Amino acid sequence: MLLIMQVLTVWLAIQLLFTIWNLSRMPKLGKSLSSQSTYYQPSADSHDQAVADHTSGKDQRSKPILSIMIPARNEEINIRQCLESVLNCRTDSIDIEVLVMNDHSEDRTVAEIQQVMQQDDRVRLFHSDPLPDGWMGKSYACHQLVQHAQGNWWLFIDADVRLEVEGLEAAMVTARSQGKGLISGFPRMETGTWLEKILVPMMSFVIAYHLPIMMVRRSRSPFFVAVTGAWLMIHPDSYARSGGHEGISTQIVEDMELARAVKRIGDPVTLANVQHYTSARMYRNAGQVWEGYKKNIFVGAGRSPLLAIGISIYYALLFILPVITLIYSLCTLDTMLIGWSLLSILIGMITKSIIDVYHGKPIWMGIYMPVSAACLIGIMMDSWRAGANGTGYNWKGRNYG
């Protein structure tokens, strides 16, 4: 047992060093990407497209247009603050249009939107057609929104997202430097209830801990991808050539599939740090946290039972076994084992604290690491079960198979 703990501790230390390096490689929203990667070079076709846009009138205005598109289903709690945060953004160098799709809401979502529309005519409201067979609800809402978009760039955001005053200007700086493709970033996650604090930061943890962030942009492989539909910016030309939401209409995790489609056509995909410019509270209670992660986690693992089991075992070994070993060593008074177990637990907590602080969370939340890992494993197993037995996943009144 002592040798196992020594090996685990060394590996945890290696992962800690990788995490620190990995986070330092993440591009920051508002900065130029031109010097950070050679992956994407504008081609002659891209130049021709830009000329065509200009001659067709899209760029004849003195400012480029940014289309902000918000799918909204039962979002009466969120939508008004979301719209107000968008409309309060500085737009010195851009014009904006704000398009909202009411996706068959059953609450006061429409009334909240209409109140904002009375104060600002940049907001336009649309009502979704009935959901066709073979479509996921959010994908169809986004697909309908783009039919009305006039912007040089498009920004999809969820209704629970809040933008800071410089958020849109910063987004366009980065978008201009990239030229084409897709840019996404995880908002600073606000948490309230206990399960939010334990689980929501794990989304950022998994990416920083495992995915070489620089490869999201530098590699053409769809394997290296991490994006979120909560804040996703895409060039209209890249959207059209990748097939858009129509090409991924059956996918539950539509944001990841859209990013993979953009990579397949050779356009760049960037995962950026957007923490300073956007925030979100995705869930409001423990039930929403569990169901939200349950809907995505097994699907995100490619619906592979082997991968789901492998991830669960890996996290159990790294973050739960040291706690069990510490309890055992305290009972047997094995001082060497106590020391190595404590060191393993401490390294895991420090790693989580570094990731949490980077993403705007308090440093003390790192102490949740063993509990967070246990909950993540529990959701993975529950998500696997729901996918395997055909019950599917429920979210906002819809069932997803």
Q: What is the pLDDT of residues 85-111, one digit of tens each?
A: 999 999 999 999 999 999 999 999 999
Residues 182 and 87 in one domain: yes
Mean local confidence (pLDDT), 43-62 = 42
Residues 187 and 63 in one domain: yes
For residues 111, 117, 122, 128, the Cα torsion angle rounded to the nearest 10 degrees is 30
Residues 346 and 275 in one domain: no
Residues 347 and 263 in one domain: no
pLDDT of residue 222: 85
Domain membership of residue 401 (yes or no) is no
Q: What are phi and psi of 86, to 5 degrees?
A: -65, -45
Domain membership of residue 109 (yes or no) is yes
Residues 334 and 382 in one domain: yes
Task: Check if the beta carbon of residue 198 is closer than 8 Å to that of residue 371.
Answer: yes
More confident residue, 300 or 146: 146
3-state helix vs strand vs coil in the chain, percent to 5: 55, 15, 35
Task: Check if the beta carbon of residue 188 is closer than 8 Å to that of residue 280.
Answer: yes
- Mean pLDDT (the chain) is 90
Residue 132 Ramachandran class (φ > 0 left, ψ -120 to 50 alpha, else beta): beta
Residues 123 and 89 in one domain: yes
Tokens of 207: 């990416």
Query: Does position 124 have pLDDT exceeding 50, yes or no?
Result: yes
% of the chain at pLDDT higher than 70: 91
Residue 400 — pLDDT band, cuts 50, 70, 90? low
Query: Does position 249 have pLDDT exceeding 60, yes or no?
Result: yes
Query: Does position 228 have pLDDT exceeding 90, yes or no?
Result: yes
Residues 52 and 154 in one domain: yes
Q: In whole angstroms, what is the distance from residue 110 CA to residue 103 CA?
A: 10
Residues 121 and 60 in one domain: yes
% of the chain at pLDDT higher than 90: 77
What are the tens digits of pLDDT across the range 126-157?
999 999 998 999 999 999 999 999 999 999 99
Last residue of a domain, one of 284, 317, 343: 284
Residue 303 — pLDDT band, cuts 50, 70, 90? confident
pLDDT of residue 54: 35
**Considering only CA atoms, which of 159, 172, 91 is closest in space to residue 125?**
159
Domain membership of residue 201 (yes or no) is no
Domain membership of residue 337 (yes or no) is yes
Query: Does position 206 have pLDDT exceeding 90, yes or no?
Result: yes
Domain membership of residue 217 (yes or no) is yes
Residues 371 and 234 in one domain: no
Query: Does position 236 have pLDDT exceeding 70, yes or no?
Result: yes
pLDDT of residue 387: 80
> For position 272, which CATH number holds?
3.90.550.10
Domain membership of residue 199 (yes or no) is no
pTM, whole model, 2 decimals?
0.87
Q: In whole angstroms, what is the distance from residue 60 CA to residue 344 CA?
A: 60
Residue 57 Ramachandran class (φ > 0 left, ψ -120 to 50 alpha, else beta): left
The 8-class DSSP code of residue 276 comes to T
Query: Does position 319 have pLDDT exceeding 60, yes or no?
Result: yes
Residues 144 and 228 in one domain: yes
Task: Check if the beta carbon of residue 116 is closer than 8 Å to that of residue 72.
Answer: no
Query: Does position 301 have pLDDT exceeding 80, yes or no?
Result: no
Mean local confidence (pLDDT), 52-76 = 73
Last residue of a domain, one of 223, 258, 284: 284
Last residue of a domain, one of 261, 284, 307: 284
Residues 260 and 119 in one domain: yes
For helices 202-210 and 335-358, the axis angle rounded to 10 degrees is 100
Domain membership of residue 292 (yes or no) is no
Domain membership of residue 133 (yes or no) is yes
Residues 237 and 173 in one domain: yes
Mean local confidence (pLDDT), 198-220 = 93
Q: In whole angstroms, what is the distance from residue 146 CA to residue 142 CA?
A: 6
Residue 68 structural domain:
31-191+206-284
Query: Does position 42 have pLDDT exceeding 60, yes or no?
Result: no
Number of domains in the chain: 2
